[in-house]
Chains A and B, each alone.
Chain A
Amino acid sequence: MKSVRNHLSLVIALVSILFSLQLYFVVERSIDAYKKNLSNNYSVIAVSKESLATEDIKAMNKLIANVAELSPDNVIKRLNSDMKNTNIELLKLSLPKFYKLSLAYYPTPKEIKELREDLLKSKSITKIEDFSHSHDTVYKLLLLFKNVVSLFALVVLVVTVLLIFKELRIWQYKHNERMTIMALFGAPLWLRSAVLFRLAIVDALIASFVTLGSFVYLSSSPWILEQFNNIGINVIVFDILNDFLMILGVSVSISILLASLIVIGHKEEV
């Protein structure tokens, strides 16, 4: 029972750090996925006096992923249905060309501005519709969401680190006695701190596996999957290999750092 309590405080602290870290990554990934989704639905319309080759338009800005010419038929139909066919053909020739440009990814407002300027450099392009107003709103909403989550993760991190430093004193006191006694019998530093480092690594492993388990459970939970489905994105909540290695690395580093602090702060009191 006592030994469980010994482990608990560090494990809980580590788990909360790992959780907020992983949560941050999940949000980051969701936003990326969502941006991709948005970029599929978002496009810019360019109006040109004369016909342009797809490759030429693409060369204007690297953001442009695809170009589709919009057929003027719909416009003409609405204008007048009684027009003679020959007139319609003539009209078609004199009408400007409309191009729908799909983008490689969801751009920032600045990138849209640049895109606009690049396109207007071309002599033939006369008008651009970038729907920047609605774009801005969505983009700001995404940023807000991301910032809120980052802030939340940061607060959890700071609070946990403060708690750890408070606990550190208790751990220091607890390990000081044993390390002092071992030193009095001539144990070298590595032997004195071996127990501590073993404890730290075991705690880091426990914390990593608890986090792994929770996220693997979460990522297969139907409720979570449904949430992502609803907004039409597919997010890797927990990449068993990469994320686990990252989490393991972080938690082992933190606990080894803490153990080193205890060893450095050790004072022999007789």
Chain B
Amino acid sequence: MDKVIVAKDLSLSYSNNEVIINKVNFSIDSGSFVFITGASGSGKSTLLKSLFGALSFKHGSLVVGGVELNNISGKKLNFLRRHLGIVFQDYKLVREWSIDKNIMLPLLINGYMKNVANAQVDKLLKHVRLNHQSGKYPYELSGGEQQRVAMARALAHNPIIILADEPTGNLDEYSSQLIWNLLEGANNQLKTTVIVVTHNIPKNLNVTYRHLHIEYGSVHEIC
């Protein structure tokens, strides 16, 4: 199996130099489905940020999609990020753009034709059951609805890796199931590597998954 992510002696900290993740080693196979759990404040989001190069680190090595992230150039990072689909814990929707345009962002960046992009946005809005909200702005949507927009945006350009930070954190049972089905689908049909930070792993999942747990700055394999 190809390794899509390899971390060696990876240590992470913010500008205050407090060590959040301490010399961890792990690797993730291409096409796998991984859950990351851990107590609030344990460093799950921090680890995820490092995977899309939003957190520079001084110690260790981290290779994502064959690209070393330590001291990566801006150009290479842009290139890598174009193949990632990220769901942020705080959604990060562009507030002055309609939800359609928000979902279209990765398609725009990846140079999709306008009509292809439009069709893709319509399809995704249906998938996350938001087609009736088309044309609205993020602030006109509920928290859970915004979260589903963020999920649609992460899926839009068929990324190689999906990094989702608590993508069901604000959703009811029904909408959560919707999200799991979408992630399952991407993993099953497109062989997308899926990495999800969550507090509760769903019971009825149709994929084999790995479970990593973060505690005291270390990453443990649960299963």
Known A-B contacts A177-B94, A177-B95; the reply to A186 vs B105 at CB < 8 A is no
- CA gap between A187 and B77 in the complex, in Å: 10
Majority SS at the chain A contact face: helix
Known A-B contacts A191-B109, A268-B54, A270-B54; the reply to A186 vs B79 at CB < 8 A is yes
Across the interface, A186 reaches (CB within 8 A) one of B82, B88, B93, B95, namely: B82
CB contact list, B46-71 vs A, under 8 A: 49, 52, 54-55
**Count class of interface residues, chain A:** 10 to 19
Give B75-94 as 1s and 0s: 1 = Cβ < 8 Å from A's Cβ atoms.
Answer: 10111111110101000111
Interface status of A185 (Cβ within 8 A of chain B) = yes
- CA gap between A188 and B82 in the complex, in Å: 10
Chain B residues contacting A49 (CB-CB under 8 Å) are none
Most A C-beta atoms less than 10 A away, residue of B84, B95, B97, B109:
B109
Interface status of B96 (Cβ within 8 A of chain A) = yes
Most B C-beta atoms less than 10 A away, residue of A186, A189, A270:
A186
CB distance from B67 to the nearest CB of A (A): 12
B54, A178: Cβ atoms closer than 8 Å: no
B109, A184: Cβ atoms closer than 8 Å: no
Chain B residues contacting A187 (CB-CB under 8 Å) are 78, 105, 109
B86, A184: Cβ atoms closer than 8 Å: yes
CB distance from B100 to the nearest CB of A (A): 15
Measured CB to CB, the nearest residue on chain B to A3 is B96
CB distance from A60 to the nearest CB of B (A): 70
Chain B residues contacting A189 (CB-CB under 8 Å) are 74
Chain A residues contacting B83 (CB-CB under 8 Å) are 186
Across the interface, B81 reaches (CB within 8 A) one of A177, A178, A186, A191, namely: A186
Interface status of A181 (Cβ within 8 A of chain B) = yes
CB distance from A80 to the nearest CB of B (A): 94
B54, A184: Cβ atoms closer than 8 Å: yes
A188, B78: Cβ atoms closer than 8 Å: yes
Known A-B contacts A177-B95, A187-B78; the reply to A182 vs B105 at CB < 8 A is yes
CB contact list, B2-28 vs A, under 8 A: none
Give A1-38 as 1s and 0s: 1 = Cβ < 8 Å from B's Cβ atoms.
Answer: 01000000000000000000000000000000000000
CB distance from B147 to the nearest CB of A (A): 15
Known A-B contacts A184-B52, A184-B54; the reply to A178 vs B94 at CB < 8 A is yes
- CA gap between A68 and B55 in the complex, in Å: 86
CB distance from A6 to the nearest CB of B (A): 9
B106, A185: Cβ atoms closer than 8 Å: yes
Give A171-193 as 1s and 0s: 1 = Cβ < 8 Å from B's Cβ atoms.
Answer: 00000011011111111110100
A185, B109: Cβ atoms closer than 8 Å: yes
B96, A178: Cβ atoms closer than 8 Å: yes
CB distance from B210 to the nearest CB of A (A): 25
Residues of chain B at the chain A interface (Cβ within 8 Å): 49, 52, 54-55, 74-75, 77-84, 86, 88, 92-97, 105-106, 108-109
Would you give 6 A-B contacts (Cβ < 8 Å), ordered by A?
Answer: A184-B86, A184-B92, A186-B80, A191-B109, A270-B49, A270-B55
5 nearest A-B residue pairs (beta carbon): A186-B81, A186-B82, A270-B54, A186-B78, A187-B109
